[in-house]
Amino acid sequence: MANLCTKIEIYLGRTPDFSNEVQVFGDGGVQTINLWNCTDKPEPKESDLCSDEEADYFDGMRFLRQERDTKLKETDWYALADVGMTDAMKEYRQKLRDITNGLKTSDDINNITWPTKP
C-alpha cells in the first residue's frame, strides 16, 4: 500500500507541514488522517486521492532524483576550471541527468541501470 503522506502531497500539489497542517496516523498497516489544518484545500475523501500505483511512482521518482543529485554532486568538482572534465566524465554526468527520461511506471524506476562512473 502506498504512503498516505505521498498521496496528500500529490493532492495538495505541495508538501504540507506534517506537524501542524496534516497529521497521519498508522495502525496495523492502515493509515488515516488524524489532523487537517490546510486552508488551501478541504480534507480529501478517499476518492480525491491518487491510486497506490501513482503514489509509488511519485515516491520512486523522488528517491531516484535524490540519488541522481547525490551522484552529480560527487563529481561537481570536476567542473572547476583548474581541474578540467574529461569527455568520459561529461558523458557520465549527462547520463545521470537523463536517467529519469522515459520512466513511466514504478517498474521502470526499479529497473534502471546506473551509468558507471569513469
Sole residue written with cell 570536476: 78
Contact 60, 111 (CB under 8 A): no
Helices (H), the chain: 4-12, 52-75, 87-98, 106-110
Q: What does the mean pLDDT of the chain come to?
A: 91
Q: Cα(46)–Cα(91) distance, rounded to whole angstroms?
A: 45
pLDDT tens-digit series, residues 61-84: 999 999 999 999 998 887 776 667
Contact 75, 93 (CB under 8 A): yes
Query: How confident is the model over 34-43, as a mean pLDDT?
Result: 95
Indicate the domain borders of the chain: 4-48, 52-110
